[in-house]
């Protein structure tokens, strides 16, 4: 009598080749993250308790000194404040504008794809290249902004060196660059809403404003939360545009924490201090993300 092994009910039959492939892929990905993510993070955390300059083999344990130095330094609080102002400004503007644009595109009958493409084009452009172009656009003598203002008799500002405008000039550039991504996500969220809900609302005589406030926005909440949270995490780590456009100036008016981290490591060769700043920033991001998620959970339940 022969016996043929059968797979248990509900269990996929996987042959040996597929199992090998699956295991190889999983192990490879884990190894990649272990080497290029987990190990550097652990090393940086350990390094944050050291006077650390790998370029000259310096690695002396100094306890909490790097953290204490950072927390008692005016520049840290300046950069953190700038960071929060920058992030809130970009996130609020980006999400608000993206919502308006996504709602508008959702109502367009034709050429939706064209609008999506046009708004998404800046997203796929190189951030460094865009930053250089915008630096030129803001140039006080020959830049596009001031030249355009001059046509209508207005004297432009030194946008990137005026303390009142420098940070917000970078905000404008950042929103311009990343708006399309939020538009695409929110548009996808809107188009995925169930049409029956809107039909029922129409039957009940709801106005457009009521449909927007009572149906569209609440149903869109998960997508909005996703965009806000990911934006927060991303913009709290902004670096490239500050490096290219302002170098933290004028003075320290556009100094962000990430720029301070870069300076500590690659200008002052103080990798321990830089690591400590990185973990302080990580804590801030973690707390803000948790607060945001709790807030949106509470709203959903309400």
Beta carbon of residue 33, minimum distance to other proteins (angstroms, whole number)? 24
- Residue 69 as a binder of other proteins (CB under 8 A): the answer is yes
Binding mask 154-193 for other proteins (x = CB under 8 A): -x-xx-xxxx------------------------------
Binding mask 78-117 for other proteins (x = CB under 8 A): ----------------------------------------
Beta carbon of residue 3, minimum distance to other proteins (angstroms, whole number)? 60
Q: Which stretch binds other proteins (CB under 8 A): 2-10, 24-32, 247-255, 289-297?
A: 247-255
Mapping DSSP onto H, E and C, the string for the chain reads CCCCCCCCCCCCCCCHHHHHHHHHHHHHHHHHHHHHHHHHHHHHHHHCCEEEEHHHCEEEECCCHHHHHHHCCHHHHHHHHHHHHHHHHHHHHHHHHHHHHHHHHHHCCCCHHHHHHHHHHHHHCCHHHHHHHHHHHCCCCCCHHHHHHHHCCCCCCCCCCCCCCHHHHHHHHHHHHHHHHHHHHHHHHHHCCCHHHHHHHHHCCCCHHHHHHHHHHHHHHHHHHHHHHHHHHHHCCCCHHHHHHCCCCCCCCCCCHHHHHHHHHHCCCCHHHHHHHHHHHHHHHHHHHHHHHHHHHHHHHC
- Residue 260 as a binder of other proteins (CB under 8 A): the answer is no
Rounded to an integer, what distance in angstroms lies between the CA atom of residue 83 and that of residue 237?
8
Of 75 and 103, the one with the shorter C-beta distance to other proteins is 75
From candidates 28, 125, 210, 247, binder to other proteins by CB under 8 A: 247
From candidates 103, 139, 144, 206, binder to other proteins by CB under 8 A: 139
Of 122 and 140, the one with the shorter C-beta distance to other proteins is 140
From candidates 46, 51, 84, 201, binder to other proteins by CB under 8 A: 51
Beta carbon of residue 145, minimum distance to other proteins (angstroms, whole number)? 13
- Residue 126 as a binder of other proteins (CB under 8 A): the answer is no
Binding site for other proteins (CB under 8 A): 51, 53-57, 69, 73, 75, 139-142, 155, 157-158, 160-163, 247-253, 263, 266-270
């Amino acid at each position: 009598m022969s016996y043929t092994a059968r797979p248990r009910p509900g269990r996929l039959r996987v042959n040996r080749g597929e199992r090998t492939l699956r295991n190889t892929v999983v192990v490879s990905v884990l190894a990649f993250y272990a080497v290029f993510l987990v190990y550097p993070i652990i090393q940086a955390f350990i390094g944050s308790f050291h006077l650390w300059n790998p370029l000259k083999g310096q690695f002396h344990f100094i306890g909490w000194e790097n953290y204490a130095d950072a927390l008692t330094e005016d520049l840290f609080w300046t950069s953190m404040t700038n960071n929060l102002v920058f992030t809130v400004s970009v996130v609020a503007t980006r999400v608000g504008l993206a919502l308006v644009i996504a709602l508008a595109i959702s109502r367009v009958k034709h050429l939706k794809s064209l609008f999506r493409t046009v708004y998404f084009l800046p997203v796929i452009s190189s951030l460094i290249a865009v930053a250089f172009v915008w630096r030129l656009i803001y140039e006080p003598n020959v830049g596009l902004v001031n030249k355009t203002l001059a046509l209508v008799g207005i004297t432009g500002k030194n946008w990137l060196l005026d303390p009142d405008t420098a940070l917000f000039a970078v905000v404008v550039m950042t929103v311009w660059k990343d708006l399309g991504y939020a538009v695409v996500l929110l548009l996808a969220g809107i188009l995925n809403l169930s049409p029956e809900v809107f039909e029922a609302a129409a039957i009940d005589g709801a106005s457009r404003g009521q449909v927007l406030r009572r149906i569209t926005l609440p149903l869109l909440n998960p997508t909005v939360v996703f965009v806000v949270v990911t934006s927060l995490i991303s913009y709290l780590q902004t670096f490239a545009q500050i490096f290219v456009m302002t170098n933290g100036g004028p003075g320290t008016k556009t100094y962000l924490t990430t720029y301070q981290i870069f300076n500590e490591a690659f200008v002052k060769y103080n990798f321990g201090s830089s690591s400590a700043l990185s973990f302080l920033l990580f804590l801030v991001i973690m707390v803000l993300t948790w607060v945001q998620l709790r807030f949106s959970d509470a709203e959903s339940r309400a």
